[in-house]
Amino acid sequence: MAEQIVVQLRSEIDVGSFTYELRHGKAVTDDLASGTRFSEISGYLKRISLDDTLSEQQQDNDFIHEVVHAINQVYLDGELEERQVKCVSNGFHQVLKQLGVTFRLQPSEGG
Ligand SMILES: [Zn+2]
């Protein structure tokens, strides 16, 4: 089994020359649940919202998925369609997991 590498995420992540805010916690989870989503990205507000109540595996998948969306926005003018973003991010998730790389959100007040 590969060495485990846990990447502790900060509250922001840079993609290209843009800084995206990484948001999570109860208010974010409630907001996402109202739209029956696990995660979302706003290219306009430059922020990524993640449900931190899901399994660590699901959170990893969602984080990678939204980062691929950000890369798509910044470097590809949004040319990739949802299905393509999903396929690329699922592929990255599988390869990173195989290498023992996982991501953890910062603890947030209120869950
Ligand atoms: Zn998506």
State the average pLDDT over residues 54-79: 97
Q: Does the structure show a pLDDT above 50 at 45?
A: yes
Distance from the alpha carbon of residue 111 to the mean position of ligand 1, in angstroms: 24
Q: Are 15 and 5 in contact (CB under 8 A)?
A: no
- C-alpha of residue 80 to centroid of ligand 1, in Å: 10
Q: pLDDT at position 108, please?
A: 72
Cα(67) to centroid(ligand 1), Å? 10
Task: DSSP for the chain, please give it.
Answer: -PPPEEEE--SEEEETTEEEEEE-SHHHHHHHHHTT-SEEEETTTTEEEE-TTS-HHHHHHHHHHHHHHHHHHHHSTT-S-HHHHHHHHHHHHHHHHHTTEEEEPPP-TT-
Q: How far is the CA of 106 from the centre of ligand 1 (A)?
A: 22
Look at residue 1 in the predicted model and tell me its pLDDT. Answer: 66
